[in-house]
């Protein structure tokens, strides 16, 4: 069965600290996609990244980076030098190839304190 | 480029009233989704349309909920009659053809925050 686990319910950091949000997934498919979305206090869901199961290269986008490790079924998200504007709930999601259904994690609430 | 547009952003209504939520997907996207978000259940897929045709409505909670997509640029989610337990954030989302190279990535609207009192 498919499953996405975000064990960290809430994380608080002080501005400029680095923070890593964990995501562990389960699937029996060999082809699948992983996603991260951000939900700021204003409520919208913002797409951050998509990664397919055949591409284990880490990705960096500004202060954001993602570490995909199939060996541990993890797709972790690191924010470097966090800022108050990074405060949001972050969701990890999984989609098996050929299905339109996303399996969302329960989200991690990140609070960045000034 | 315009994203997924939803209206209204906020709706407060009395129990028993009809509620209609509206959505305009991103131009060129032919897959449309309605999701509901609550604290208890997280994000749930209610219904999925492909090329304006409902493909999967298994997530629609009950007959009080209905969704339509009369054309490629407009969809509605209707609740009639509404109940307090319908209070939630309803997201519309869209994507390119699911099996295409840019598929699989869903772009969400800003959500419609519904409160039924």
Express each pLDDT in B25-76 by its tens digit: 999 998 999 999 999 999 999 999 999 999 999 999 889 999 999 999 999 9
Instruction: Find, among B29, B18, B23, B28, the residue nearest to B80 by Cα.
Output: B18
Reduce the DSSP state of residue A70 to 3 states and report it.
helix
CB atoms within 10 A of CB A73: 17
C-alpha B45 chain-centroid distance: 9
Asked if A101 lies within 8 A of B45 by C-beta distance, the reply is yes
B54 touches chain A (CB under 8 A): no
Find the closest chain B residue to A41 by CA distance: B110
Q: How far apart are CA A113 and CA A101, in angstroms?
A: 35
pLDDT in tens, chain A (114 residues): 899 999 999 999 999 999 999 999 999 988 899 999 999 999 999 999 999 898 888 888 899 999 999 999 999 999 999 999 999 999 999 998 777 889 999 999 999 999
Asked if A50 lies within 8 A of B110 by C-beta distance, the reply is no
Mean pLDDT of chain A: 94
Residues contacting A25, CB < 8 A, separation 6+: A2, A3, A4, A5, A32, A34, A73, A74, A75, A92, A94, A103
| Residue A27 DSSP symbol | -
């Amino acid at each position: 069965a498919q499953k996405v686990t975000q064990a960290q319910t809430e994380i608080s950091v002080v501005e400029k600290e680095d923070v890593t949000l964990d995501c562990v997934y389960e699937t029996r498919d060999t082809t699948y996609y992983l996603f991260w979305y951000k939900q700021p206090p204003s409520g919208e869901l913002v797409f951050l990244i998509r990664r397919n199961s055949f591409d284990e290269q880490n990705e960096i986008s500004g202060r954001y980076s993602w570490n995909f490790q199939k060996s541990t079924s993890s797709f972790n998200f690191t924010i470097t030098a966090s800022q108050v504007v990074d405060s949001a709930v972050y969701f990890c999601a999984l989609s098996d190839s050929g299905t339109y259904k996303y399996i969302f994690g329960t989200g991690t609430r990140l609070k960045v304190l000034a | 480029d315009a994203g997924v547009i939803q209206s209204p952003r906020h709706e407060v209504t009395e129990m028993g009233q009809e509620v209609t939520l509206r959505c305009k997907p991103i131009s060129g996207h032919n897959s449309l989704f309605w999701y509901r978000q609550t604290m208890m259940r997280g994000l749930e897929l209610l219904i999925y349309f492909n090329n304006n045709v409902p493909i999967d409505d298994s997530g629609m909670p009950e007959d009080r909920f209905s969704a339509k997509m009369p054309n490629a640029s407009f969809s509605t989610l209707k609740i009639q009659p509404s109940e307090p337990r319908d209070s939630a954030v309803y997201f519309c989302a869209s994507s390119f053809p699911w099996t295409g190279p840019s598929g699989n990535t869903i772009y969400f609207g800003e959500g419609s925050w519904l409160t039924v009192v």
